[in-house]
Amino acid sequence: MSYQPPYTINAKIIHLISAMSEQVGVVQRDFLDASPQLRKANRIKTITGTLAIEGSTLSEEQVGAFLEGKAVNASPRELAEVEGAMAAYEQLQQLDPFKLDDLRRAHQLMMGGLLPDAGRFRNKAVGVYQGKEIIHVAPPAHRVSGLMADLFRWVNQSDQHPLISSTVFHYEFEFIHPFMDGNGRMGRLWQTLLLAQWKPLFFDLPLESVVKEHQQAYYQALGNADEAVESTLFIEFMLEAILQTLQKNAPVNVPVNAPLNAPVNLHTLKTTEAILHLLRDNPYLTRKEMAAEIGKDVRTIGRAIEKLGKNGRLRRVGSVKAGHWELL
Q: Tell me which DSSP letter residue 181 carries.
A: S
Adjacent-strand bridge partners of 314: 327
pLDDT of residue 265: 67
User: Which residues, other chains included, contact 148 with Cβ-Cβ below 8 Å and sequence gap of 6+?
Assistant: 100, 103, 121, 176, 178
User: Which residues, other chains included, contact 150 with Cβ-Cβ below 8 Å and sequence gap of 6+?
Assistant: 2, 3
Q: Tell me which DSSP letter residue 179 carries.
A: S
Domains and CATH numbers, the chain: 11-248 (1.10.3290.10), 266-327 (1.10.10.10)
pLDDT of residue 252: 58
Q: CB of 266 within 8 A of CB of 293?
A: yes
User: Which residues, other chains included, contact 130 with Cβ-Cβ below 8 Å and sequence gap of 6+?
Assistant: 219
The mean pLDDT of the chain is 89
C-alpha atoms less than 13 angstroms from C-alpha of 114 in its C-beta half-sphere = 21
The per-residue pLDDT for range 265-311, each reduced to its tens digit, is 676 678 888 888 888 778 888 898 888 888 889 999 999 999 998 88
The per-residue pLDDT for range 29-64, each reduced to its tens digit, is 767 666 788 889 999 999 999 999 999 999 999 999
pLDDT of residue 1: 54
Rounded-to-integer distance, Cα 91 and Cα 105, Å:
10
Adjacent-strand bridge partners of 127: 137
pLDDT of residue 260: 35
- As separate numbers, helices (DSSP H) first and strands (DSSP E) second, the chain gives 14, 4
What is 224-281 written as a DSSP string? HHHHHTSSHHHHHHHHHHHHHHHHHTSPTT--TTPPTT----GGGS-HHHHHHHHHHH
pLDDT of residue 48: 97
